[in-house]
Structure 1
Amino acid sequence: MIRLLIVDDHAVVRSGLKLLLGEKQNIDVVGEAADGDEAIRLAEVLLPDVILMDLSMPHGKDGMTATEELKKLLPDIYILILTMHDDEQYLFRAIQAGASGYILKNAPHEELLTAIRYVAAGSAYLTPLATKRLMGQYIEKVKNGEGTDEFESLSEREKEVLSWTAKGYSNKEIAENLIISVKTVESHKSNLMEKLGLKTRPDLIKYAMKKGLLTFE
């Protein structure tokens, strides 16, 4: 059963979605919210699997801001953007904010159901047009010599470990500063070295200098 929270500022839209989705046996609409602030409050209480999020909500937080905050507060919750904005600017921002999917309000009901199930299973879902636009942007970056830096593939924690390690801190000291275990530090360090193709500590230090991570008081 997929626990779903619907977020849209129009009561008629929420009612229609609840009626449509509530008829499906594997979807349980556990709540609905009219703005981003209410969505955050309800999500913390209801802990849905998926949040169906509108972007344009004039009162309270908008969908983009709410998505960013929810992914920080509840990183295990998946967010599917349901919007009328067929614009790559909104698409790219939504993905950067942490959304797992992006679908337009004029999409067929069957596609919406498919998107919800994909996202609930931990997969990403984009409309064909959105996928085409993302691929186009990536290809353009590659042509321009961009998009080949693996730094952006690092998690925020891996970036922190990279910075602390380059500054000469031991695994134990890093663990104490980040309030994690030494074993976790070692795991992060191993992962980031592999992602960046680095073999030695000097290589790591050179890379950190290149990225401007070695700043001292």
Structure 2
Amino acid sequence: MIRVLVADDQDLIREGLASILDKQEDIAVVATASTGADAMRQARAHHPDVTLMDIRMPGTDGLEATRQLLADTPAPTRVVVLTTFDQDDLVIQALRSGASGFLLKDLPRQQLVDAIRAVHAGDLRLSPSITRRLVDRQRQRAAQPEQLTALQRLSEREAEVLQLIARGKSNAEIAAELFLSESTVKTHVGRILGRVGARDRVQLVIFAYDTGLAD
């Protein structure tokens, strides 16, 4: 069962999200919050697997709450930012804060449910429009020498896995495409993170586009 915390300052949206998620057999909403500070309190009390976090909330906003939550130990919640604002600077701030997803509130409900499952499994989820803009943004940046050196450390198979990560594929999808077991893919992902000095899949995606490995 995936335990979820829903944080949004609008009652209708918060209750609507909770209702949608509670109807899933594998998802349970363990708490809701209307402010960033309340989200932090509820997360520390209920230890959700995934937190849906609005950005614009009274007092402590969703970005600051995300930073603080993900600095907690042990095993902090995974955060998916869900907002009506798709400004590039907010996306970058959210990802740098450690968020595992950035979704717009107009997405279909099934995509929201799928995103929660994917993030819980360790994957990254971004709205398609956001992904396109981030790709364009990264293409304007030149790869640093240390990045190219790190790229050369990857084996041919690791490079293939990284390309698929950059395309937004989950471990299960990568396993199916490369005819590998999911545990083997997880091993490759762990090695790639170490070889390129990345913290998570978000940084792997950026690295892939910076170095030209992803097109």
The TM-score, its normalising length taken from structure 2, stands at 0.66
Q: Higher RCO, 1 or 2 (CA under 8 Å, sep at least 6)?
A: 2
Matched residue, 1:61 = 60
- Taking only aligned residues, the RMSD between alpha carbons, in angstroms, comes to 2.2
**1:27 corresponding residue in structure 2:** 27
Structure 1 spans left out of the alignment, 5+ residues = 154-190, 197-217
Q: Which residue of 1 aligns with 2:9?
A: 9
2:119 corresponds in structure 1 to: 119
> How much has 1:93 moved relative to structure 2?
0.8
Provide Cα deviations, 1:116-166, integer angstroms capped at 9, x if missing partner. 111111100011111111111111102xxx45544xx9xxxxxxxxxxxxx
Please say if residues 138 and 147 of structure 1, whose CA atoms lie closer than 8 Å, have aligned partners that are also in contact.
no
Counterpart check, 1:139 vs 2:142: no
Extract structure 1 runs of 4+ deviating beyond 6 A. none
Give the secondary-structure state (helix, strand or coil) at the position aligned to 1:6: strand
8 Å CA contact 1:141–1:147 kept in 2: the answer is no
The letter of the residue matching 2:113 is L
* One-letter amino acid of the counterpart of residue 116, structure 1: I
Q: Is the 8 A contact 2:63 2:97 kept in 1?
A: yes
Change (3 A) 1:147 1:116: farther
Instruction: Work out the percentage of aligned pairs sharing the same amino acid.
Output: 36
What residue number does 2:99 align with? 99
TM-superposed deviation, 1:73: 1.0
- Equivalenced residue count is 153
Whose radius of gyration is greater, 1 or 2? 1
Aligned to 1:84: 84
Trace 1:187-198 onto structure 2 (pairs within 5 A).
195=196
Name the amino acid aligned to 1:70: L
**Contact 2:6 2:33 survives alignment (8 Å):** yes
CA distance in 2, matches of 1:32, 1:117: 18
| Cross-structure match for 2:41 | 41
1:73 corresponds in structure 2 to 72
Cα distance between partner residues in 2 of 1:67 and 1:41 = 12
Name the CA distance, whole Å, in 2 between partners of 1:33 and 1:4: 11
User: Which AA in structure 2 matches 1:127?
Assistant: S
Structure 1 residues 98 and 192 mapped into 2: Cα distance closer, same or farther (>3 Å)?
A: closer
C-alpha contact (below 8 Å) 1:3/1:49 kept by paired residues: yes
Please report how far the alpha carbon of residue 19 of structure 1 lies from its aligned counterpart in structure 2 after TM superposition: 1.0
What is the Cα deviation at residue 89 of structure 1?
A: 1.3
Assess if the C-alpha contact under 8 Å between 1:4 and 1:27 holds in 2. yes
Q: How many angstroms apart in 1 are the aligned matches of 2:37 and 2:194? A: 39
User: Per-residue CA shift, 1:42-63, capped at 9, x if unaligned?
Assistant: 1111000000000001x22100
Letter aligned with residue 44 of structure 2: E
Give the unaligned 5+ runs of structure 2: 151-191, 198-215
**Amino acid corresponding to residue 69 of structure 2 in structure 1:** L
